Amino acid sequence: MRKDFMDGFRWWYYDGRTGEAVIVLCKDKQWETVRIFDPMWLTNLSHKDVQALFRHQIFFDVQDMVQALQFMRVIRLCSIFKIHAGADWKAISEKYFKKDTSKN
């Protein structure tokens, strides 16, 4: 998945026709879109990209609210738990997940 594209970030929205989140970019007067089908793909963005999406609410039609908010929830979790491309998964799991050492 493409990373580090937030310099040209304009907005993002949920496309109810395709079921994708669409990130709209414009850099040097060149408009471009990045389409994301699965919300979990957002975990592959850079930390900078995650923070940019976290600061900007996703636009959506009312009838698409449930699906659109799935993308927002993943971004929120990525931001809170510092999940992004290049994240140290071992450190994240050690910090946030309890290890059950007792065998019952």
Q: pTM of the predicted model, to two decimals?
A: 0.83
Q: Among 31, 53, 55, which Cα is nearest to 43's? A: 53
Query: What residues make up the domain containing 13?
Result: 6-96
Quote the Cα angle for 60-50-92, to 5°.
Answer: 125
Counted domains in the chain: 1
CA atoms within 13 A on the CB side of 71: 28
Average pLDDT for residues 45-56, to the nearest whole number?
A: 93
In a domain, 79, yes or no: yes
In a domain, 41, yes or no: yes
For the stretch 1-23, pLDDT in tens is: 677 777 889 999 999 999 999 99
Residue 45, Cβ density class (10 Å: 0-12 exposed, 13-18 middle, ≥19 buried): buried
The verdict on residue 1 lying in a domain is no
- List the structure tokens of 32: 């471009």
Q: Is residue 63 part of a domain?
A: yes
